[in-house]
Amino acid sequence: MDKSYGRGQILKVDLTTGTVSREPIPAGLARKHLGGEGINSRLLWEHFLKVDRRTDPTSPDNVIIAGVGALGATGYGAGTKMKWTFKSPRTGMFGDSSSGGTFGANLRWAGYDHLVVTGRADHPVYIWIHDDAVEVRDARHLWGMDVEPADHAIKQELGHADIETAIIGRAGENMVTYASLQVSCHRGAGRTGAGCVFGSKNLKAIAARGTKGIHIHDPNRFLEAIETFTTAVNKPQRVRDAWKNVGTLGVFGYYNRSGLSPFRNNQYSTVPQDKVDKLTSRWYTDNLALRRLSCSPGCVTGCAGMYKIKGHESPAAPKYAGETGYRMELAAQIGWGSMCDIPDMPALAHLWKMTCAYGVDVIEFSLSCSFLMELWERGIIDQRDTGEWMGEPITLEWGNYEAVLAVLESIALQKNALGQIFKDGIYKAAQRIEDLKGVPILPYVIYGKGGLPFITEPRSNPSWGVAIAVASRGADHLKGAVATLERFNRPDLSTHHYGRPEAAQFATPTLKGMDCARAENRCAVINSLGLCSFPIALDTVLYPEELFAEALTASTGVPMTGQEFRLAGERTVNLEKAFNARLGLRREDDRLCERWLDEPQVDGPGKGARAKDFLEPAKDEYYEAHGWDRKTSLQTRKKLEQLDMSDVAQVLTRENALIP
């Protein structure tokens, strides 16, 4: 009985046959991979040993795995972040996406830490998890609904107000490859196309209500661990002043001062001051903020919120007067506000609301818009093209938020030719437009690994540059970049880890690859525990692994050490790397777009910087820090054996993807 303390089961649902099964988490697996992202990645790895690894991600053979880490939903102070893991239909490689929301907590309270969905239903269905009762129900009446109405309909149908859902919008139904999965309606698992996998499985939603709770081995010791941790979370001034008020919106001003806010499709790196003033978190709290909220249970930071548009705040506001909704994140502020040059927060708030309703990844979608706008500025596309593609001659000038809405509808609802051009992501869209136009336009696309776009300025920020080039799920910040020391200037932590402060020095290449490798291991630990990276991933001194180990020991009764946690994080990074290596990804796939590589930054403190100057040496350093091969980027047998992953090494050897 002791084994089940602090842990749930793995729930498996096969949509083809409609069968449901449960199995306990093997103790060895929990120790080696902790939970959350770690166990998810392991389950994905095992699934793709049974089915062909080259299988089409939209086929029934793909799998989508939900997982909440062992400290998620326990009130441990850093919320409940869950992971959705699958083979990505967007990039064709390892795919995962995290989300907040109360759904993950209900999954755990119902007794399941992981949910594995395979197969494909022959008509739209949804999964209803009510403690021990799990059923696959008809969702034909929900198909075609936006996220919020579908959520409402499910709650009414099942008769509980406290049901939480993970739902796809119409973009997911139409299998747009970067469709998001909307968890508890407003927390999107956006990146790499979880919504598309749902759509391909004819799965509209998963609804959960958990009343069984989580057994804790030593409640008093666990309460003490919570108190220690929450005190630490509330300690930094930056948490109290910025995170608690405005969450991710708060870093925009800092980014802009540091020349890290890409402007007009990243042709520039700082936003003109008059526009900055209308995009800051201060403008938001003064004009739109209604109240703050926690996105998920057990978060003492509470960086989410609600807004209300009164109608006189900005030129766009009268149109949306009276609208309330959940607050946008930094992705909207940079993605539309500065990349598309829309310095109008009410418009951004409305765009955010609509992308949540249709279920689209905001990052990829907003960069698709800024890309189109740059093509418009350069005269490569004009009204004839938009007329042909969208049915009406829409102008795509900078700042035209109505055009952005039109593009959103084209893509999410797959209404017209433009929607089809952008269905498979920005990189393929650029190739398609290039074929249509016969002029080179790939230099204007912003992307990193996997052709996945990302909203940042990595040229003068080498640690983010290398992180975006190597991240296992394609260009992204949550796999490592957020825990690197350079961007938030932490020489103290650099000295702590490396004995010298250079890893935190801005715009220099020293130690950046090594720091990225360390940060990846760190982020894997946080994501495996079901906690939120934002307030805690960076500061390894204030929130050391030992702190989490103590809490997990108290809750599960299985003694664990901080060192074991660090190893578990490294194992997860290696497993994701191995998954990609099996698919044939090598060093040359760890790349950045031409704009970042070759074009020097034109303004800001990092003026003149370009990624070409640091990327290759930083990658060398990164592979070496992970103990991987420099030339091919492949893992070595020695490293995998050190991590007790000989079985993975065996598979890789068979497929010629390991350095002996």
Show contacts with another protein in window 284-303 (CB under 8 A). 285, 289, 291-294, 297-302
Cα–Cα distances in angstroms (integers) from residue 576 to residues 86, 115, 264, 517, 521, in the given order: 11, 19, 34, 13, 12
At closest approach, how far in Å is the CB of 327 from another protein?
11
Q: Is 180 in the site for another protein (CB under 8 A)?
A: no
**What are the phi and psi torsion angles at 57 (to 5°)?**
-60, -20
The residue behind tokens 């850093």 is 78
Q: Is 29 in the site for another protein (CB under 8 A)?
A: no
Q: Are 265 and 446 in contact (CB under 8 A)?
A: yes
Q: Is 85 in the site for another protein (CB under 8 A)?
A: no
Taking the C-alpha atoms of residue 457 and residue 478, their distance in angstroms, rounded to an integer, is: 15
Q: How many chain residues bind another protein (CB under 8 A)?
A: 42
Taking the C-alpha atoms of residue 569 and residue 643, their distance in angstroms, rounded to an integer, is: 10
Contacts of 78 (CB under 8 A, 6+ apart): 71, 229, 233, 298, 299, 300, 301, 531, 532, 535, 536
**What are the phi and psi torsion angles at 419 (to 5°)?**
-60, -45
- Give the x-and-dash track for 241-270 against another protein (CB under 8 A): x--xxx------------------------
Q: Are 297 and 79 in contact (CB under 8 A)?
A: yes
CB nearer to another protein: pick between 292 and 428: 292
Taking the C-alpha atoms of residue 404 and residue 366, their distance in angstroms, rounded to an integer, is: 8
Q: Is 238 in the site for another protein (CB under 8 A)?
A: no
Q: Is 109 in the site for another protein (CB under 8 A)?
A: yes
Show contacts with another protein in window 549-588 (CB under 8 A). none
Q: Is 470 in the site for another protein (CB under 8 A)?
A: no
Taking the C-alpha atoms of residue 375 and residue 361, their distance in angstroms, rounded to an integer, is: 21
* Strand, helix or coil for residue 435: helix
| Residue of 51, 306, 436, 597 interacting with another protein (CB under 8 A) | 306
Q: Is 437 in the site for another protein (CB under 8 A)?
A: no
Taking the C-alpha atoms of residue 641 and residue 639, their distance in angstroms, rounded to an integer, is: 5
Q: Is 77 in the site for another protein (CB under 8 A)?
A: yes
CB nearer to another protein: pick between 97 and 245: 245
Would you list the DSSP string of 88-99?
-TTTSSEEEEEE
| Residue of 74, 202, 366, 410 interacting with another protein (CB under 8 A) | 74
Q: Is 277 in the site for another protein (CB under 8 A)?
A: no
Q: Is 234 in the site for another protein (CB under 8 A)?
A: yes
**How deeply is 251 buried, as exposed, middle or buried, from its count of CB atoms within 10 A (0-12, 13-18, 19+)?**
buried
Q: Is 216 in the site for another protein (CB under 8 A)?
A: yes
Q: Is 60 in the site for another protein (CB under 8 A)?
A: no
CB nearer to another protein: pick between 53 and 292: 292
| Residue of 1, 161, 274, 438 interacting with another protein (CB under 8 A) | 161
Q: Are 445 and 456 in contact (CB under 8 A)?
A: no
CB nearer to another protein: pick between 306 and 442: 306
Contacts of 567 (CB under 8 A, 6+ apart): 643
At closest approach, how far in Å is the CB of 246 from another protein?
7
| Residue of 22, 140, 240, 500 interacting with another protein (CB under 8 A) | 240
**What are the phi and psi torsion angles at 193 (to 5°)?**
85, 45
CB nearer to another protein: pick between 145 and 367: 145
Q: Is 227 in the site for another protein (CB under 8 A)?
A: yes
Stretch that binds another protein, among 217-225, 448-456, 465-473, 593-601 (CB under 8 A): 217-225
Q: Is 542 in the site for another protein (CB under 8 A)?
A: no
Q: Is 375 in the site for another protein (CB under 8 A)?
A: no
Q: CA gyration radius for the chain? A: 23
Stretch that binds another protein, among 216-224, 484-492, 583-591, 635-643 (CB under 8 A): 216-224
User: What residues pair up with 114 in beta bridges, in sequence order?
Assistant: 10, 67
At closest approach, how far in Å is the CB of 239 from another protein?
8
Q: Is 219 in the site for another protein (CB under 8 A)?
A: yes
**How deeply is 224 buried, as exposed, middle or buried, from its count of CB atoms within 10 A (0-12, 13-18, 19+)?**
middle
| Residue of 43, 214, 232, 526 interacting with another protein (CB under 8 A) | 214
Taking the C-alpha atoms of residue 400 and residue 414, their distance in angstroms, rounded to an integer, is: 21
Show contacts with another protein in window 322-361 (CB under 8 A). 324, 326
Joined together, the tokens standing for residue 268 give: 């520039």
- In eight-state DSSP terms, residue 631 is T
Summarize as ranges the residues that interact with another protein (CB under 8 A): 73-75, 77, 109, 161-162, 186, 211-216, 219, 222-223, 226-227, 230, 234, 240-241, 244-246, 282, 285, 289, 291-294, 297-302, 306, 324, 326
